[in-house]
Structure 1
Amino acid sequence: MRGEILTYDDGPGAGLISGDDGQRYSFSRADLQQLTPVRPGMKVDFVPAEGVATQVIVVVGQPAIGTGYTPGVAGSGASIDWKTLFLEANGRIGQKDYWIGVGILFAAGLVLGWIPAIGTVVSLASIYFGICVSSKRLHDMGKSGWLAAIPYGVTALAVVLSAMTFIGGIVSTGYGNDFGALAGMGAAGGVWALAFLVNLGFLIWLGVTTGQPGDNLYGPPPRPLATF
């Protein structure tokens, strides 16, 4: 049967094909019969089997669109859609693009954070960038993008609770008592440790949970933003 590729994410190696019969068929990297650049919009021949496209062959001779990317071949048209990844909160992204976005933000914050003025600007900007990345990943899972605010809410709560526990430790033992200060510091450290674990768990949850197959409330399955 003849069809057209709707989406393909080289991270999980999965995509969707719209068949000429009006039905949609899922396919995986293993179903591709040739090492050929794969992009949405390409025409393919395939054998349908219970909603799955098998023996997928890209139609030879169709014009190339932009720079080709061959799955599994490093450096073949590698690129990143920076604008969509970091500046747009709508839409969906896959697990691979999510981890790339998280890695870039972490590395940028680690390197530029040592520069006082630039570090402050980067820290503030990274909040928005991080929300955009997390929001699209949540959308892919079929969940509200507002949940991306959880890590920031947990951090703000940790600031308040750690200050309260620190001051409470001092007040409870009397001012000038070193034991009270140490107790307060220990309690505040425990609050921050708990906040760190919650935020780490949230980050990992977004990175390991697979997206919903097919369209959902937030749009069609994501196309890969990073091709390498």
Structure 2
Amino acid sequence: MTDRLQQATSGRAGLKLGWLSGRANRKEYWIWIAPLLVIEILLFGLGPVATLAVAIVRLLVWIRRLHDLGWTGWIAPIFNVAASVLAFALQFALGPDPAALAAAGVVLAGIVVLGCLPGQPFDNEFGPPPGRKAANPAETFG
């Protein structure tokens, strides 16, 4: 069995979707996250659809950043769901506005932590470190 076929059958073969795959270092992360936060704050009054569009892009940036840390991208949606559950639970104790503020604080803390942790300086299962070419030409052209 070839390596690529073995990876595909074991579930380790990642989709190569250009910008959506691979790793994002801290600089690239902040280049995307800082404007997204400003846009999300500006669009907050327009309703949930506008905020959701920005949140989806933020989720994709988080996934690439988690890949740079060597972690699975599934942590990002799990974190978002946990923050939403926290907001829902806090609504009964604090009311809707303080609960939303607490959930936003948790998400902001996650954004800052992801932006401060250094990525892995070596190749991991998600590719080489950002800014460095793949060591094997087959990874580049395969």
Q: Hey, what does 2:5 align to over in structure 1?
A: none
Identity level (%)? 31
Q: Hey, what does 1:97 align to over in structure 2?
A: 28
- CA deviations over 1:109-147 (Å, ceiling 9, x no partner): 223344x3xx54331212221111000001001011111
The 1-side partners of 2:113 and 2:48 are apart by: 28
Contact 1:135 1:145 in 2 (8 A): yes
For residue 222 of structure 1, give the secondary structure of its aligned residue in structure 2. Answer: coil
Distance 1:136 1:113, change over 3 A: same
Distance 1:208 1:146, change over 3 A: same
Distance 1:220 1:147, change over 3 A: same
Q: Hey, what does 1:141 align to over in structure 2?
A: 69
Matched, 1:108 2:39: yes
Q: Give the number of the structure whose residues are more often helix, by fraction.
A: 2
Contact 2:87 2:103 in 1 (8 A): no
Using the TM superposition, give the Cα deviation of residue 153 of structure 1 relative to its aligned residue in structure 2, in angstroms.
1.5
- CA deviations over 1:22-65 (Å, ceiling 9, x no partner): xxxxxxxxxxxxxxxxxxxxxxxxxxxxxxxxxxxxxxxxxxxx
- Say which of 71, 74, 86 aligns to 1:158: 86
Higher relative contact order (CA 8 A, sep 6+): 2
Matched, 1:220 2:128: yes
For residue 212 of structure 1, give the secondary structure of its aligned residue in structure 2. Answer: coil
Gaps of 5+ in 1: 1-82, 166-183
Contact 1:158 1:192 in 2 (8 A): no
Q: Hey, what does 2:49 align to over in structure 1?
A: 121
The 2-side partners of 1:220 and 1:106 are apart by: 28
Gaps of 5+ in 2: 1-17, 133-142
The 1-side partners of 2:48 and 2:92 are apart by: 26
The 2-side partners of 1:154 and 1:195 are apart by: 9
Corresponding residue pairs, total: 115
Q: What letter corresponds to residue 88 of structure 2 in structure 1?
A: V
Distance 1:122 1:193, change over 3 A: closer
Task: Write out the 4+ residue segments of structure 1 that deviate beyond 3 Å after TM superposition.
Answer: 191-197
Distance 1:148 1:193, change over 3 A: same
The 2-side partners of 1:161 and 1:202 are apart by: 19
RMSD: 2.6
Q: Give the number of the structure whose residues are more often strand, by fraction.
A: 1
